[in-house]
Structures are given as C-alpha cells and as structure tokens.
Amino acid sequence: MSPPQREAVLVTGGAGFIGSNLADRLAGQGYTVRVLDALTRPGVKGNLDWLQRRHGERIVPILADIRDRAQVAQAIDGVGAIFHFAAQVAVTSSLDEPRSDFEINAAGTFELLDAARRQCPDAAILFASTNKVYGDLSAYDFALGEDGYHPTDVELAGRGVSEAAPLGFHTPYGCSKGAADQYVLDFARSYGLRAAVLRMSCIYGQRQLGTEDQGWVAHFLIRALQDAPITIFGDGRQVRDICDVEDTCRAYLAAWREIDSIAGRAFNWGGGPDNAVSLIVLIQEIERLIGRNVQLRHSDWRPGDQRWFVSDTSAIDKALSLTPRIPWREGVRQLAAWLGERRNAPDLRAPLLQQGVSA
C-alpha cells in the first residue's frame, strides 16, 4: 500500500547529500516536504536553493538546528513521516568535539523522538544510522588479498555483516550514532512508534560534495578532476560496499510504504558484496575514467577504521522486495560526469572550488 498523497513529511538534514536527493523525490511525488537543516556544511545552501527552484512551495525550509527543541516540535507537527538524516557525520570531528557530536547525534535524535511520541505518534520514522555501530570488527580475522582485505571466514566474506553481528561502538561518533540507533528501536518498543533504522554503509552519488573526513567516493573524484593529490589513510586496501544514492532513496521510500511490517527493526543497508571495493581499486577506476594517474599521499590509520565492511542486505531486500543495486562502476562513472558538468554551475561552483575542483 502506498503512503497517502500530499501530506506533509519532514526530512531533517534535508539540504544535505542524501536528504536533498530524497526531498527531491518526495516533492516530485506531490508531498509537501519540510526541510529542516542548519545549513552548516559547505554546499548545502545550494542544495536547498536547487530544491526550491525545482519544486517551489512544496519545499518548506526550516532553518534550524536539530538541537533546537522548539523548532523541532514545530517542524514535526502534523507530519505523516519523518526521515531523520540530520547529524554530525565525521569520525574525526567527533574526536575533536565529542560533546557537540553527542548533542547533535544522540540528544538531537532523542528530542525528535520525544516530540514525535507526543505530537505525531502515528508518523513513520526512518532513521539513518551507520555501519560504525559494529565497531572495528576486531572479533573477525582478516587476510590481505590482491584487491584488499577480506575475512578469512568464507561465508562472511560472501554474504557480508548481518544484523546479528554484535554491536561495538568505537569513537565518539560510533557511540553517539549507536545510542541514537538504540533509542529509535526502543521508542518503537516502549511507545509503539512506527520507527525503523537503516545502518548505512558508504553512499555516493549526485549532490555529494565529499571531503577528506566524509563522503570519500566523491572526495576522491573531486580531487582527481583537479589533478590534486589524494591522501590515503592506512594502506588503501580497506574494503567497503558502496551504494548509489538512487538505490538508497528507493530503499527509504519502500521502508515508508512497509513501515507497519518493519517497525522496531534495524536493517543493514549498502551495496552488498556485489558492490564491495577497496580504496585502491576505486582509485584505479577513477584513473581509467579521467585518463591519467592520480597523485597519492599516505598517512596513518584513523581511529575506528574498519579493514573491511560489507553489508549483508538480504534482510532488507526481502522485507522491502528491493531490486539489485546500480553496479558501482556505473554509479561512479555517473557521479564523475555530474561533477564534471557542475564545476561551473551556479548552485555548486563555490563548494566545488572549496573542495579543490578548478572551474
């Protein structure tokens, strides 16, 4: 059954990368989309302007911080669904400013949930969690192969990490997102909220203005387009399952449609084993796309960095009847083309220049 048409929905962090893509699809389907965003990240003001140009009055900006209790209460009033992306998203920033990280990710999510249970207890709530809730996976043994790290457990290597894996919060970021993850699940259990969690791996795609700290697929492409050096933390053999934002938006919309059957559950979300790639292999593909070598610099491993993480997405694929993902090489090619075309576009030129792409 499809969600009712034309009701208001809230997307927190709705001017960000995933949020703006999802808001675009929701507005295109006829919903009034309240976009709550503090506009603190470079480029997100351009995303909001883009949404308003495309959809006019269907986009309702709420320029506020997720920590602002009064603004959050106003934003959720009467909505039929809440897609919660507002967050502090970088492990490095969490180590530098752990209090701020906690207040945004854990306390901000609590405020949202508490307001929802009082004001709109029937609203669907979809929370964007992270694979970092599983920690560094130190309980598993890994071997270094030709293309990157892989588990010595053949079954694990073939299917990925399932939701049955033990949680292991590492770094302030892992703790704050993990705490929020668990609060969402408990509010579904304790108060009957129609809430579910998607623990996401590496999402990439259009409108991503990645930095060295977060959004590494786009960051690598942006640096390569400028012929600027890329810093690799660790040995570059780390493996992740990467997933196009198009597939991610489809998953969130499907989760809304099926919220009554999935409420109270957490799902792993990513590209899965078919879209697992190491940093070095991705760089090799970028070199093929741009027709020249990329300059590399190396630095130490960062705290909490996983040698390998690949999501087992079989549970969410079955629950939501999802189709196979966009192959990673095709998705990266599309992102490279979009970044190349947008280097002089008014809405993205300034943030791209800040990230090192020459106009």
CATH code, domain with 345: 3.40.50.720
- How far is the C-alpha of 223 from the C-alpha of 232, rounded, in Å? 12
Q: What Rg, from alpha-carbon coordinates, does the chain have?
A: 19
Query: Is the Cβ–Cβ distance between 273 and 183 less than 8 Å?
Result: no
Question: Whole-number mean pLDDT of the chain?
Answer: 92
Query: Is the Cβ–Cβ distance between 256 and 269 less than 8 Å?
Result: no
How distant is the alpha carbon of residue 290 from its chain centre? Answer: 26
Higher-pLDDT residue of 80, 6: 80
Owning domain of residue 60: 8-354
Report pTM.
0.92
Strands annotated E in 175-225? 194-200, 202-204
Answer whether residue 56 shows pLDDT above 90. Answer: yes
Confidence of residue 212 (pLDDT cuts 50, 70, 90): confident
Q: Mean per-residue pLDDT for 215-243?
A: 94
Q: Which tens digits make up the pLDDT trace of 131-168? A: 999 998 988 999 999 899 999 999 999 999 999 999 99
Query: Is the Cβ–Cβ distance between 304 and 95 less than 8 Å?
Result: no
Q: What is the pLDDT of residue 302?
A: 83
Considering the domain boundaries, does residue 187 fall inside one? Answer: yes
Higher-pLDDT residue of 229, 348: 229
- How far is the C-alpha of 50 from the C-alpha of 39, rounded, in Å? 14
* Residues annotated as part of the active site: 173
Considering the domain boundaries, does residue 88 fall inside one? Answer: yes
Count of domains forming the chain: 1
- How far is the C-alpha of 228 from the C-alpha of 192, rounded, in Å? 51
Answer whether residue 243 shows pLDDT above 80. Answer: yes
Q: What is the pLDDT of residue 342?
A: 74
Q: Which tens digits make up the pLDDT trace of 171-183? A: 999 999 999 999 9
Considering the domain boundaries, does residue 1 fall inside one? Answer: no
Q: What is the pLDDT of residue 354?
A: 43
Instruction: Give percent of the chain with pLDDT exceeding 70.
Output: 94
Q: Mean per-residue pLDDT for 31-60?
A: 95
Considering the domain boundaries, does residue 311 fall inside one? Answer: yes
Q: What is the pLDDT of residue 6?
A: 61
Considering the domain boundaries, does residue 3 fall inside one? Answer: no
Q: Which tens digits make up the pLDDT trace of 113-128? A: 999 999 999 999 999 9
Higher-pLDDT residue of 40, 346: 40
Considering the domain boundaries, does residue 144 fall inside one? Answer: yes
Q: Mean per-residue pLDDT for 296-325?
A: 93
